[in-house]
Amino acid sequence: MAETTTRAAEPRGFRSAELGWPELHRIPHPPRRLPLLGDVLGVNRATPLQDSLRFARQLGPIYRRKAFNREFVFVWGADLVADLADESRFAKHVGLGVANLRPVAGDGLFTAYNHEPNWQLAHDVLAPGFSREAMEAYHPMMLAVAGRLTDHWDREQAAGRSVVVPGDMTKLTLETIARTGFGHDFGSFERDRPHPFVTAMVGTLTYAQRLNSVPFPALLRRAAQRNADDIDYLNRMVDDLVNTRRTAGGDGDLLDRMLETAHPETGERLSPENVRRQVITFLVAGHETTSGALSFALHYLSRHPEVAARARAEVDRVWGSAAVPGYDQVAKLRYVRRVLDESLRLWPTAPAFAREAVQDTVLAGRHPMRRGAWTLVLTPMLQRDPEVWGADAERFDPDRFDPKAVRSRPPHVFKPFGTGARACIGRQFALHEATLVLGLLLRRYELRADPGYRLSVTERLTLMPEGLRLHLERRAGSGATAAPVADPDEAPAASESRCPVSRAGD
């Protein structure tokens, strides 16, 4: 059973850094700090994460920023993050945009405070829903949804149109989690416009982020009303879904576990309100981050045809002439998984996580922290730390995840799913789904990038490539096995001449 930390300070709203860091003056901040306003010169309200990465490069592995009367400490140095991963001294901190999602997700798995008992109850009840046995049961449904994607892409390709990658990946991942977890079909691929659930979800995520960029929430009065309407819609939709299931029954998916399964030790069950919050959490978190991960991976594959060719050769070798891959065949796509991991390294779609001290302590032996003090870990900078990843850390190269390379790195330097007891419960689900989909798309299509496109990243708490379109060419045979190829994992590590790499923004 995962252990919940109960020693963390009770939440008392936002806690500015000066309340928890006795030697805050030793931590650098941007040079042009203004009275009352703080460090707001040159920042863009639409790209707070990318602004934070820019400051990180200027100020180093730990720094602070002030916006109006609120001060934040940011961390990305590998040794500092490794210390923050110590579960005996630090726990998840629910703050910033995550806390702003509590009106819709409450004490769901992602947004619960550490002291709230429903987190542990839901975690223990739902963890078996991500076992190997459960994952094997989800696999055919993942294949069915992926078939709807390829049917759509086949039509677009035949008509000579490019495909809208982020939008189509959002449809794919929403349908996948909805069908595997809750037996629901949103009909996303039959719609010309996003499903209202997606519109409401994006609205709540965007509003949660905007709350961090204004000194007074009252300035967002109209946006607050739209957010309240979005929350009402999400609640009604989920309540209808749950009520239908209570009437019709199900077949052992996540929703059935929420409704029927008691805690194995206490016999406690999830309350109706908690079921609603967990369903919303899974529907949002279960598709939003995976769609971003797939979109970034497809961008890089289209930009690096030699990487795509190597990944495609692995798919042909491992899957052979099988019409569809079996569950176990997906895990054998080791190079495809490296492509996914490298995309998540450069652009982790959940780009930060917060940690708070559960006792008075000293971070990495250098920075005193009082109980309840917290910091935000910038995952994209941690995963680009040149002291860990090398001087070319900004470049895309899947062979960074060759087993030998992975063993040579210290722990806690790759954290796209968070850390500790509160790390993403659906990690294996997301990785299986994304690897499967990349394999299917590589097997079926040649991916052609628009030469004029330059990666632009949109932020709504999660990250997504903006405006990404790809041109498709159907492969000859589309799924038939090509000539036998060598196992890429037995080949020497790729050099720049065999496997070109580029800057992350290319």
Q: What pLDDT is stored for residue 369 in this prediction?
A: 98
Q: Is the separation of the CB atoms in 182 and 279 below 8 Å?
A: yes
Instruction: List the structure tokens of 466.
Output: 């903006």
**Residue partners of 162: CB distance under 8 A and separation at least 6:** 156, 450, 469, 470, 471, 472
Per-residue pLDDT band for 490 (boundaries 50, 70, 90) equals very low
pLDDT at 506 exceeding the cut of 70: no
pLDDT at 5 exceeding the cut of 70: no
* CA dihedral of 303, 295, 84, 372, whole degrees rounded to 10: 140
**Residue partners of 331: CB distance under 8 A and separation at least 6:** 432, 435
Other residues' Cβ atoms within 10 Å of the Cβ of residue 476: 7
Q: Is the separation of the CB atoms in 345 and 379 below 8 Å?
A: no
CA distance 191 to 178: 16
CA distance 257 to 132: 16
Per-residue pLDDT band for 95 (boundaries 50, 70, 90) equals confident
pLDDT at 487 exceeding the cut of 80: no
- What's the one-letter identity of residue 351? P
pLDDT at 10 exceeding the cut of 50: no
| Catalytic residue annotation | 289, 417, 424
Which sign does the torsion angle of CA 328, 329, 334, 340 carry? Answer: negative
* CA dihedral of 277, 283, 289, 291, whole degrees rounded to 10: -170
Q: What pLDDT is stored for residue 460 in this prediction?
A: 84
Per-residue pLDDT band for 504 (boundaries 50, 70, 90) equals low
pLDDT at 496 exceeding the cut of 70: no
Q: What pLDDT is stored for residue 274 in this prediction?
A: 92
Per-residue pLDDT band for 13 (boundaries 50, 70, 90) equals low
Other residues' Cβ atoms within 10 Å of the Cβ of residue 232: 12
- Residue among 293, 268, 327 nearest 120 (CA): 268
* Highest mean pLDDT pick, 98-102, 192-196, 301-305, 494-498: 301-305
Burial-class residue 225 by CB neighbours within 10 Å (0-12, 13-18, 19+): exposed
Least confident interval from 11-25, 322-336, 392-406, 411-425: 11-25
Beta bridge partners of 368: 362
pLDDT in tens, 199-228: 999 899 888 888 877 777 778 899 999 999
Instruction: List the structure tokens of 450.
Output: 């628009």
- Residue among 450, 364, 372, 413 nearest 76 (CA): 413
Helical H runs in 249-390?
254-260, 272-303, 305-319, 327-331, 334-346, 379-382, 386-389
Q: What is the mean pLDDT of residues 82-98?
A: 93
Q: Pick 16 or 378 by higher pLDDT.
A: 378
pLDDT in tens, 440-481: 999 999 999 999 999 999 998 899 999 999 999 999 876 443
